[in-house]
Each structure stands twice: as structure tokens, then as C-alpha cells.
Amino acid sequence: MADSASSAASTEAEATPDTQSGTPSQTSGGFLDRYFHISERGSSIPTEIRAGVVTFFAMAYIIILNPLILGTGADVNGDVLGTSRVAAATAFAAGVMTILFGVIAKYPFGIAAGLGINTLVAVTFVSVEGLTWPEAMGLVVINGIIIVLLAVSGFREAVFNSIPGSMKAAIGVGIGLFISLIGLVDAGFVRRLPDAANTTVPVGLGIDGSIASWPTAVFCIGLVICGALVVLGVRGGLFIGIVLNTIIAMVIEAVTGSGPSVGDDGSPNPAGWNLAVPTLPDSLGGVPDLSLLGAIDIFGAFARIGVLAATLLVFTLVLANFFDAMGTMTALGKQAKLMDNKGSLPGLKKALVVEGAGAIVGGASSASSNTVYVDSAAGIADGARTGLANVVTGVLFLLAMFLTPLYEVVPIEAAAPVLVIVGALMMQQITEIDFSKFYIAFPAFLTIVVMPFTYSIANGIGVGFIAYVVMNVFAGRAKKIHPLLYIVAILFVVFFAIDPVMGALS
């Protein structure tokens, strides 16, 4: 039974319109086909275009969420970036980098402002350390330059290739659980319990244990629709699911008037839509304000808080960026069946260089570091196999700068079911882990659970790598551990101790 289930999941994850029908791609021989290796990877131009749209709608929330994180707080000088300017910069950076990654690396991995890193910049760099926004973004640019240099030197690729197969599989499974949790939380299906609840349980189901809001009900309906479409093998099922979910959401909002989760006066509305309210826009948008582009101070942070403190902040950024992207690319590559027989992505070095440049572009745009997005798994599950899907996603991001209200029609509750479905498909990689050997099982287990529990890919990888080195040393396998893994484990020990270290220095 287990083998049959694994085989079925594998078939669902690999299926694309061309492979399902058993017919060769009609694009064979054309320029786009040759350049992006479309038919070689078992895909077609229509599939790539459709899947690129799916990836965009799975990622579009960042254009709304990033401005809420970066655009509302004041720095030490009282300056505020502003939500409209951050939204334009976020869409611009995501569009440019996603297209570049698709054209150069030729993989369907969308790029946008990294969640977690943007919070680190807003809270730690600006609010706690007292940097100005230009100074904080200057450190992001320096971080990007270091990441690119590490990729150009081949060090980043060497670390990638030193990761054992069991840990690569664990990273994929952990990311699957992580994006599933993101979908469940974004939809309000799983909610954080207030501290006043006086319970040791940090999260709960819906509102007071019930699906008591229409937006969450839309998510549940969408989960059934998307799951059924995948089971039935419908071509473009996830794309169709998002469209149907959005239509249902618009009808329900028109009837119920649930409104946003936070009112205009700042009052909470737990039964409201999390980010975008599914209503027809009053206008089509306008000219974006890109005045934040280039508004950075590269070395200002070193003068304000000192060389050592600023260097430690950069170190934190580099380590988070380095492994967050590496883990995501590993999981996406395995899901799309793009890995070679050694478990590596062909042309990995080039992909890592372009991805590293995302931090430079993101910092220079004041949108925070841009990195490969795990939500790209939605497009991959819908058939994306090449960089052409990325070009479509990137163009939609650039259009979003001018047509802001249009992407807000799709609520996160309508797209969240896709994340949960994709997370389920990524679980198949767990069969590649030998749980009969504890020195393999324990590090893999920690990697898998720490990612969703801490809402961080880098944290899961760090804890897993440290455990892998320690467990294998005690198992008498010290000489079989790649030397780079010892270095990485030590760096992560420093990473996890960075706050007390900085506190002692200050």
C-alpha cells in the first residue's frame, strides 16, 4: 500500500499537460523551446504560461504584506518608507529578478522580498539597533555582494553539493510542511491563541475551535476543489482552483460583507479577509512611485553603531540568505524533477549567482533582500519546468505596479489551498530518508519539524546540520562527514547565539 501511495503521489507531482496526454510538445524546434529546454523537460509553452500565472497568484501577497512590514515604521530620524512606495518597489524588484532568473538560470523559481529577512531588517536593524532605512538597506546590499562573491567563487555550490541526500530530502519535506502551515495560517484555519487564553497550546483551530468565518470557509471549499482536481488529473487543476476559489470568494463577500481583518480604524475583525478583500476594484491603478530606488547608504551603519556590530548584522543576513535560498532551491528542484543523478541542479553556480543578486537589487530598491520563493512550488505543481514560467510571473509583477487593485481581487484564502496541496505532494520525499538509522533519522526529523515550528527555512537547516554533525560523530562516522559541514555547523552555532553575543558586546 505504501508503495502504491508513493507511486500515485509521484505521478501527480510529475504530471504536466504534455506528459499526461503522452504527446510531444507542439513547441519543439522553436526558439523558446530550444532556449528554455521546454520539450526537453516534458513541458509546453501553454503549460509554462499557465503555471507562471499560478506562481504569481501564490506569491502576490508579498506586494501587500511587505509594505505592512517595511512601510509603516519610522526610523531613528522619524522617516517612514510608506506603503505605496514599498509596494511599488517590492513589485519592481520581484519582477526584475524573477525575469532575470528565468532567462539566465532557466528554472521556474520565482524571486521576491524574503519573509523573515524583511522582518529582521524592520525590527532588529531599524527599531532595535536604531539604523535609518537607507543604512539598513545598505547592509542588505553588502550582504548581497558577499552572497554573489561566494557563489562566483564556487563556495556556495560546494556547500550545496556537500549536503547528504537524507538532509536534502528532509529539507524538501520540511519546506512542504512549512508552506502548508503558511497556507493554513494565512487562511485563518490555524490561528495563534492570545496569551490571555491561559493555555500552553500556542495555536488553535479557527475561531474558538470552529470554522467561524466566511474567508476560512472559502479556504476549506477551495481545499476540496483543488484536491479533487489533482486527484482527477485535470490539466491546470491548481490554476482552475484559484480562479474558482476567487469567484466563490467574490460572491460570498458580496453577500456577507465580511470586510478586511483589520478595519480602517485599526480595530480587529477576526472574521474578515486576511489581506485582500475580493471585490471588484474602483480603478485600474496608476503610475507607481519608484522614488525608493537607490535610496541607500552603504556604509552609514558602520559609522552609526560601529564596525563590529554592523559586521555581525551582515553576518546574520548572509547566513540566513545563504541557506534559506539553498534549501528552497533544493526542494523546488527535487519537486520539479530537475536534479541530475548526483542530486544537484545542472548549472547551479549560475543560478546561485543570479539569486544572490536578488539581495543587491532588493536592498537597492528598499524592498529588502529578494530570494527564491518557496511558493513557486504552486506553479511547479501545475506543470512549470522552465524559466519561461518565471518570465510570465515576472511580467505580472511588473504589471502589478500599474494595476495594483487587480491582484488584490484574489484573496490569500483563495490561493492558500494550493500551498497545502503542494505541501502534501512534497511529502513524498520522506521515503528517501532511512529512519532505521538514528544518526540519519534524528537530524532529518529536526530539520523537518523546526522549519514550520519556527517559521524559518534557515532555522530548520541550521538545527538539522548541527544535529547531523553531532550525531554522526557519536556514531563513529566523523571521518565520513564532509569538512564543509563542520564549518557550516559551527557557523550556525554562532548564528543562533548572535543575540547574546551582540548584547554582551553592547
Band (13; pLDDT cuts 50, 70, 90) = very low
Residue 248 lies in a domain: yes
Q: In this predicted structure, what is the pLDDT of residue 20?
A: 37
Assess if residue 16 is contained within a domain. no
pLDDT value, residue 398: 95
293 close to 89: Cβ distance less than 8 angstroms: yes
- The SS3 of residue 132 is coil
How far apart, in whole angstroms, are the C-alpha atoms of residue 187 and residue 181?
Answer: 10
Q: How many domains in the chain? A: 1
CB atoms under 10 Å from CB of 112, counted, come to: 31
Contact 104, 354 (CB under 8 A): yes
DSSP string, 135-193: HHHHHHHHHHHHHHHHHHTTHHHHHHHHS-HHHHHHHHHHHHHHHHHHHHHHTTSEEEP
Kindly tell me the burial class for residue 289, based on how many C-beta atoms sit within 10 Å of its own C-beta (0-12, 13-18, 19 or more): middle
373 in a structural domain: yes
Phi-psi region of 365 (alpha: psi -120 to 50; beta: other; left: phi over 0): alpha
- Position 404 scores a pLDDT of 60
With respect to residue 30, please indicate whether it lies within any of the assigned structural domains.
no
Q: Is-contact 259 228, C-beta < 8 A?
A: no
Could you report the per-residue pLDDT of 155-202, keeping only the tens digit for each?
A: 988 988 888 989 999 998 998 898 899 889 989 999 988 776 667 778
Note the pTM of the prediction, 2 decimals. Answer: 0.79
Average pLDDT, the chain: 87
> pLDDT (tens digit, 9 = 90+) per residue, 67-96?
888 988 899 999 999 888 999 999 999 999
Question: In angstroms, rounded to a whole number, what is the distance separating the alpha carbons of residues 388 and 398?
Answer: 16
Would 116 be classed as within a structural domain?
A: yes
Q: Find the domain containing 280 and state its range.
A: 40-505
> Contact 48/388 with Cβ under 8 angstroms?
yes
Let me know: does 292 contact 89? Beta carbons within 8 Å. Answer: yes
Is residue 19 in a domain? Answer: no
Inside any domain, residue 7: no
Percent of the chain with pLDDT over 70: 91
pLDDT digits (tens, 9 = 90+) for 230-269: 899 887 788 888 889 999 999 999 999 999 988 877 788 9
Residue 9 lies in a domain: no
Do the bridges between strand 370-372 and strand 111-113 make them parallel or antiparallel, or are there none, so unpaired?
Answer: antiparallel
Q: Which residues, in sequence order, are bridge partners of residue 210?
A: 207
pLDDT per residue as tens digits for the range 33-73: 999 999 999 999 999 999 999 999 889 888 888 888 898 88
d(CA 232, CA 211) in angstroms, rounded, equals: 27
Task: Give tens-digit pLDDT for 112-151.
Answer: 998 878 888 998 899 888 999 999 999 999 999 999 999 9
